[in-house]
Chain A
Amino acid sequence: MNPLEKIARISCKQAAMLGAKASFNALTVFEKMKLKMHVKVCVACQTYKANSELIDEAVAKILEQKEKQELSLSPEQRKKILDAIQ
């Protein structure tokens, strides 16, 4: 292992954490490099990354659907609310 690889070595757990940080565009240059080097050689993290991206897309889609959703309070819910302000 060359010295650079040694300092840049991170665990899968650290890689997953850096992945979350990356989603806020908050990685330092060194962190970016560490993450990239790890994921390149780690099949489990490649899969996790793909799953994670799928989850992101699904969350975005669900929230978009919720935005358009119109809910109605039931008569019971309305009564409960009015009772609370008696």
Chain B
Amino acid sequence: MIPAHTSDSHSAISTWLADFGDDMYSWAYYKTSSRETAEDLVQDSMLSAYKSFDKYKPGSNPKTWLFTILNNKIIDYYRSSNTKKSVNQTTLQGNKLDDDNFDSNGLWDKAQEPLWANTEEHLLDNPDFLAVMGDCIENLPPNWKGVVLGKYFHHKKGAQICKELGITSSNLWQMAHRAKLQLKGCLETNWKNK
């Protein structure tokens, strides 16, 4: 027999998902810039809410409670992107970016060309350009994306981003440098040479 508590919590979660699911999904997307990740984070949050349903105080605002859980999941997501394994992976990717862009003397390998050459209108008003750029941001490795989003999106100070991502300042500057090279390369491939 299913205990009463289980069916209560299940129906509560089901109602909350109907009521707040879209808000949670939009928020997670705003914070991670990836639909897939946002969906996973909502699912994880709902699962946690279900498992710790007895910690919910009846009568309090369920949306506030769910968003607390979701925000913790978002922090965990960025933290886990800085585990040793994923850092090693992005370090390899980053070294390759440096090697692709610079020769052994640290000079640019190729001539740098303006990204907005031969366009009359302002690029930032061009929806096609913004769509390509949006995809480039989504495709950044999570830890670099965390740096980019923290900086531009939430206007956080370097020290605060380091704390949240669990990285040092030199990591931060290097990740920002490499994220920039990656975005530039992505635009060259998908926008300029299209």
Contact = CB atoms under 8 A, between A and B. Distances in A.
B42 A73 contact: yes
A53 B98 CA distance: 19
A24 B176 contact: yes
Interface string A35-78: 00000000111011011101111111111011101111100011
> Which of B116, B173, B174 gathers most chain A CB within 10 Å?
B173
A20 interface: yes
B151 interface: yes
A29 to B, nearest CB: 17
B39 A73 contact: yes
Contact of B148 (A12, A59, A86): A59
Given A66-B29, A73-B25, A17 B102 contact: no
**Chain A binding site: helix, strand, loop or mixed by DSSP?**
helix
Interface residues of A, number: 48
B167 to A, nearest CB: 13
A43 B177 CA distance: 19
Interface residues of B, number: 58
B59 interface: no
Contacts of A59: 133, 137, 148, 152, 183
A80 B187 CA distance: 35
Given A44-B111, A52-B184, A85-B10, A21 B133 contact: no
Contact of B105 (A11, A19, A58, A67): A11
A84 interface: yes
Give the 7 A-B CB pairs with smallest separation, nearest first.
A11-B106, A20-B177, A13-B106, A47-B112, A24-B158, A63-B153, A20-B176
20 contacts: A11-B107, A20-B176, A24-B157, A26-B173, A45-B108, A45-B112, A48-B112, A52-B184, A54-B115, A54-B116, A55-B180, A55-B184, A58-B133, A66-B30, A66-B134, A70-B26, A71-B35, A82-B14, A85-B47, A85-B50
